[in-house]
Amino acid sequence: MEQILFKNMASPGYTPKISSYIAMGGYEALQKVFSEKITSDQLIEMVKKSGLRGRGGAGFPTGTKWSFIPKNPALTKYLCINADEGEPGTFKDRQLMEKDPHQMLEGIVISAYAIGAHTAYIYVRGELDLAMKTIEEAIEEARKKGFVGKNILSSGFDLEVYVHPGAGAYICGEETALLESLEGKRGKPRFKPPFPANFGLYGKPTVVNNVETLSNIPYIVNRGGEWFASIGVGKSTGTRLFSLSGHVKKPGNYEVPLGTTFRQLIFDLGGGIINGKKLKAIIPGGASASFFTEEHLDVKLDFEEVAKAGSMLGSGAVTVMDEETCMVWAALNLMHFFSHESCGKCTPCREGAPWLYKIMHRIEHGEGKMEDLDLLVSLCGNIAGKTVCAFGEAEVAPILGTLKYFRQEYEYHIREKSCPINHSERLATIGFP
Amino acid sequence: MISATARKKIENVITRYPEEEKRSALLPALHIVQNDNQGHLTEEMMKEVADLLEITPLQVYEVATFYTMYNLKPIGKYHIQVCRTLPCALMGAEKLVAYLEEKLGIGLGETTSDRLFTLTEVECLASCGTAPMMQINQNYYENLNKSKVDQILEELKQKATS
């Protein structure tokens, strides 16, 4: 299959430098926009036709999102790039930023032109120092070539692009929390409506797009929306980057057309399960997605199909667990994450996540009661859907998913007052030799 | 007190945002000050940042306490942060932490007596395919095993004394 976003970096000798990118045909799309005088409306239509959906997690159609921005040229508008990748299991945007920053940057310039923004902020998670340095260098290189700054390619269009570092808060990946953080505040999600398209950064119309989403834009401009829409399946068009991790022989990022199955990704590309073990569980779309099992291996990596099967494609992270993984331990680990990362704005999430963690902790450590299982379900029901952002749904997913498919493991912990997996023994045979 | 170099960097960062939105420079400013002050922030420094950005010290403090990357007390020269989240945990992060505790003679959240290393656990660092991993100051160390960890610690010790 044809690679789109990973094609450049798969080329021998490719570097993040602008010379490498230009040698691969980079910035031709930007030149095409201005030389063929493509209007912003035409660009939005092209992206709508492509069917491109946001690659950050929610999967909202990108062209539609752009079309919500008011047309009034007198209004200041902003483009914010969500590069705050922090969903456990996801590491694709990091690779795009570190290895091919100009691909994203070209997408940024075209997208900013499409929505009429003259300032773009790339909000990068603060821990990704190399990514930030690489992007800063790329911006300077692009400025020297006239692709960024004043009067880009003599078009009369101006765009300044800045890197803005985050500081370690998972919630800032949520678009309105990201905007709050960019404004120098605690990153807490805002109520919606108003949506960022009307009231975004500094109260101005704003589009927030993910790194992978924007990296696709130059190719859509070069080859057309219909071409992009011809890849993939149904409403899930194009290719997508999937981050494969856990107990697989060849973990890493893989670019595949949407519609590929979990089996193909895990066994054909990922080489199957390490140490000749059997597969037990899969997280299909980052820690916020409910668990799958072996019976879901033939589900397609398609927004709709994964949702129909009871989970979500989310951020494109596929984490694999082998037959010797304790599911209570796995869910407990993720509850630690969610409990730590709740921003504290909504009571159900702020109080609920640590409470869920506490119950999970006592079950895993042999101090649970059978009533705890009903309590977990009841608590989850009082958190999901009752918070300002989707964090509430996210934090209950690992518990509900493991309870659905592995309830007997919870019962074993409670009944036998111990874990069926001997962790010391287990750790002796896997990881960190 | 904030150094002249840090102050100059902050003034440069402020220009990235609209004139009436100086507060936007807060996160980058705190990173600059922290990096310039051996990895931690003091109350005095936060007050100076507030003055520079024309906001209240409380507004700075509420941000500094929200984000995990800001340290409000001194840390060692090298801050070792081990990712503990599921993909890393599946690949032996617990064992990595135990090994580091044994090698350094400290527990999580502690600093070695020579002030060289501080050890902490953190949530996902977007390095799941190269687990287990750790971040030391700005650098990522991935696909770790015992001999790699030994080598990294030795190199850092030598760097600190040379």
Residues lower than pLDDT 50 in chain B: none
Chain A contact set for B59 (CB, 8 A): 184-185
User: What values do phi and psi take at A411, rounded to 5?
Assistant: -60, -40
| Banded pLDDT at A433 (limits 50, 70, 90) | confident
| Banded pLDDT at A427 (limits 50, 70, 90) | low
Q: pLDDT tens, B78-98?
A: 999 999 999 999 999 999 999
Chain B contact set for A253 (CB, 8 A): 129
Residues 45 through 74 of chain A touching chain B, CB cutoff 8 Å? none
Q: Does B148 touch chain A (CB under 8 A)?
A: no
pLDDT attached to residue A56: 87
d(CA A39, CA A50): 17
- Which residue do the tokens 């949506």 mark? A195
Q: What is the mean pLDDT of residues A150-154?
A: 97
Q: pLDDT tens, A296-311?
A: 999 999 888 999 999 9
| Model ipTM over 0.85 | yes
| Banded pLDDT at A58 (limits 50, 70, 90) | confident
Cα–Cα–Cα angle for A133, A76, A119, rounded to 5 degrees = 15
Helix axes A40-50, A101-115, angle to 10 degrees: 120
Contact state of B128 with A90 under an 8 Å Cβ cutoff = yes
Q: What is the mean pLDDT of residues A267-287?
A: 94
Which residues is A164 bridged to in the sheet? A123
Q: Encoding tokens for residue B38?
A: 């051996």
Structural contact between residues A366 and A418, judged by C-beta atoms closer than 8 angstroms = yes
d(CA A309, CA A282): 13
Tell me the C-alpha to C-alpha distance, in Å, between residue A399 and each of A81, A256, A282. 31, 29, 14
pLDDT attached to residue A351: 96
Contact state of A164 with B30 under an 8 Å Cβ cutoff = no
pLDDT attached to residue A424: 61
Q: pLDDT tens, A393-415?
A: 999 999 999 999 999 999 999 99
Q: pLDDT tens, A172-220?
A: 999 999 999 999 999 999 999 999 999 999 999 999 999 999 999 999 9
pLDDT attached to residue A425: 67
pLDDT attached to residue A178: 98
| Banded pLDDT at A1 (limits 50, 70, 90) | confident
Tell me the C-alpha to C-alpha distance, in Å, between residue A294 and each of A404, A430, B107. 14, 21, 39
Q: Encoding tokens for residue A21?
A: 């990118």
The CA distance from B105 to the nearest CA of chain A, in Å, is 19
pTM of the model: 0.96
A422 pLDDT more than 80:
no
Which residues is A317 bridged to in the sheet? A243
Q: Encoding tokens for residue B129?
A: 């395919």
| Banded pLDDT at A429 (limits 50, 70, 90) | low
| Mean of all residue pLDDT scores within chain A | 95
Q: pLDDT tens, A300-351?
A: 998 889 999 999 888 889 999 999 999 999 999 999 999 999 999 999 999 9
Which of B53, B85, B146 has its CB closest to that of A433?
Answer: B146
DSSP H or E run through A206: strand A206-210
Amino acid symbol at B112: T
SS3 A420: coil
User: What values do phi and psi take at A369, rounded to 5?
Assistant: -125, 155
SS3 A248: strand
Chain A contact set for B126 (CB, 8 A): 85-86, 90-91, 93-94, 125, 127-128
